[in-house]
Amino acid sequence: MPASSNTTLSNGKSEPLPPRFVFGASAAGDPHNDLTFRGGNTEAALKVTVSPRARVMRLRVDPRTAQVLLTIPKRVSRAKALAWANEHRPWIEKQLAAIAPASRLEPGDSIPLYDRPHPIVWDKERSRLVRLEDGAIVTGGPRDTVEPRIVRWLHRHALDILSAETAEYAVKAGVVVTRVAIGDPRSRWGSCSSSGAIRYSWRLILAPDFVRRATVAHEVAHRVHMNHGPHFHALVEDLLGCDPTPARSWLRSRGASLHRIAG
Chosen domain end from 76, 97, 118: 97
Same domain, 59 and 170: no
pLDDT value for 121: 96
Task: Assess if residue 104 is contained within a domain.
Answer: no
Same domain, 15 and 141: no
- 16-30, 152-166, 200-214: least confidently modelled range: 16-30
**Mean pLDDT, range 115-144, rounded to an integer:** 95
Q: Is the pTM of this model over 0.75?
A: no
Same domain, 79 and 162: no
Same domain, 69 and 135: no
How far are the Cα atoms of 198, 234, 252 from residue 245, in angstroms, in the given order?
Answer: 21, 12, 11
Task: Assess if residue 171 is contained within a domain.
Answer: yes
Same domain, 80 and 114: no
**Cβ-based burial of 205 (10 A; exposed 0-12, middle 13-18, buried ≥19):** buried
Task: Assess if residue 105 is contained within a domain.
Answer: no
Same domain, 121 and 244: yes
Same domain, 85 and 137: no
Provide the residue range defining the domain that includes 154: 110-258
Task: Assess if residue 2 is contained within a domain.
Answer: no
Same domain, 116 and 223: yes
**Mean pLDDT, range 35-49, rounded to an integer:** 90
**pLDDT range class, residue 10, cuts 50, 70, 90:** low
**Mean pLDDT, range 117-129, rounded to an integer:** 94
**pLDDT range class, residue 31, cuts 50, 70, 90:** very low
* Helix (H) or strand (E) segment spanning residue 45: strand 42-51
**pLDDT range class, residue 21, cuts 50, 70, 90:** very low
